[in-house]
């Protein structure tokens, strides 16, 4: 079975709205999943210009009659105000990644935090009492919300930009700020159970956050939201030290499965989808 779709006049249309979206894995994940579920639907990438995002959203749902769509960078925060109804998690996180079309309304959700939370369970990451969040940008907020839902007792956050850090702390005052400095970050690391990199450092295959992983406990977990490359320098270092290391692919797949539950009331088997994605990534170019 592959992710190619036969489109008919009855085929439901969904998609991902962002800029850029040409290399998104989401169509690959969704179209294969719809086949597994026996749903006559197609999921397409929709590259939108920021100046026209309002027209794009209303046009997609009420003119083109889309069932719903996902939202990705750079629109997750901007579209919050365009929703007619939003889940409580949207208010807490301040971002929408999943939209469902109601009869005459747009309903916004955030499934990123659920994807992160379930990815921890799938990777047997439990008993997290302390956590360090690296980065305070858009992706960090869903992770922060998930950590709070887990009941993590002690939370730190570090970020290069003080302005973004201050905005993050306004939304999540439960976190204690740490200066973006390797020596300062090192002071809290012996207490940390879970480190989560939410920055783009490592996406180029070279850069790394200023976190000295050698200061962590031997049973600490290092999580990197980046899934391409599969192993960032940060994760490679963690594995060299014998630490559990998790990339962002499971979270990406799981947030998609939660979106399917919202749109269709069901989701496919996670392992079947992940196996397909892992096998097919290399052939996508």
Consult the annotation and say whether 227 binds a ligand: yes
Specify whether the CB–CB gap between 41 and 63 falls below 8 A: no
Q: Which of 110, 127, 57, 126 is nearest to 259 (CA)?
A: 110
Consult the annotation and say whether 199 binds a ligand: no
pLDDT digits (tens, 9 = 90+) for 7-48: 888 899 999 999 999 888 999 999 999 999 999 999 999 999
The DSSP letter of residue 201 is T
Q: Which of 76, 100, 114, 141 is catalytic?
A: 76
φ, ψ of residue 86 in degrees (nearest 5): -135, 150
Pairing of strands 68-71, 98-101: antiparallel
- Confidence class for position 58, pLDDT limits 50, 70, 90: confident
Where do you find CATH 3.40.50.720 in the chain?
113-246
Consult the annotation and say whether 15 binds a ligand: no
β-bridge mates for residue 161, sequence order:
none
Pairing of strands 12-18, 41-47: parallel
Mean pLDDT, to the nearest integer, of 69-74?
93
Mean pLDDT, to the nearest integer, of 197-205?
95
Consult the annotation and say whether 112 binds a ligand: yes
Consult the annotation and say whether 145 binds a ligand: no
Consult the annotation and say whether 136 binds a ligand: yes
The DSSP letter of residue 18 is E
**In CATH, 113-246 is 3.40.50.10540:** no
Q: Respond yes or no: is residue 218 known to be catalytic.
A: no
Specify whether the CB–CB gap between 144 and 157 falls below 8 A: yes
Where do you find CATH 3.40.50.10860 in the chain?
12-109+252-282
Query: Within the chain, how many helices (H) and strands (E) appear?
Result: 10, 12
State percent of the chain over pLDDT 90: 84
Given a cut of 50, whether residue 285 has pLDDT beyond it is no
Q: Angle at the Cα of 204 (from 48 to 253), degrees rounded to 5?
A: 60
Structure tokens at 28: 């690959």
What CATH number has the domain spanning 12-109+252-282? Answer: 3.40.50.10860
Q: Say how many residues make up the chain.
A: 285
């Amino acid at each position: 079975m592959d992710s190619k779709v036969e489109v008919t006049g009855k085929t439901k249309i969904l998609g991902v709205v962002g800029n850029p979206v040409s290399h998104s894995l989401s169509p690959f994940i969704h179209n294969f999943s719809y086949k597994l579920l026996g749903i006559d639907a197609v999921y397409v990438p929709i590259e939108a210009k920021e100046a026209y995002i309002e027209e794009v959203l209303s046009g997609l749902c009420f003119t083109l009659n889309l069932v719903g769509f996902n939202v990705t960078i750079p629109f997750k925060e901007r579209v919050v105000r365009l929703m007619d109804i939003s889940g409580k998690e949207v208010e807490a996180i301040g971002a929408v990644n999943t939209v469902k079309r109601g009869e005459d309304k747009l309903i916004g959700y955030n499934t990123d935090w659920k994807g992160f939370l379930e990815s921890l369970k799938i990777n047997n990451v439990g008993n997290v009492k302390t956590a360090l969040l690296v980065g305070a940008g858009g992706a960090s907020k869903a992770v922060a919300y998930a950590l709070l839902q887990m009941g993590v007792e002690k939370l730190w956050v570090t970020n290069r930009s003080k302005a973004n850090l201050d905005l993050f702390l306004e939304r999540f005052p439960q976190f204690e700020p740490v200066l973006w400095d390797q020596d300062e970050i090192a002071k809290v690391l012996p207490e940390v159970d879970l480190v989560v990199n939410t920055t783009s450092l490592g996406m180029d295959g070279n850069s790394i956050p200023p976190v000295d992983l050698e200061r962590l406990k031997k049973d600490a977990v290092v999580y990197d939201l980046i899934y391409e490359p599969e192993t960032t320098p940060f994760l490679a270092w963690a594995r060299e030290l014998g630490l559990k290391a998790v990339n962002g692919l499971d979270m990406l797949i799981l947030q998609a499965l939660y979106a399917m539950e919202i749109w269709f009331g069901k989701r496919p088997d996670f392992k079947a989808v992940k196996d397909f994605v892992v096998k097919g990534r290399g052939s996508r170019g």
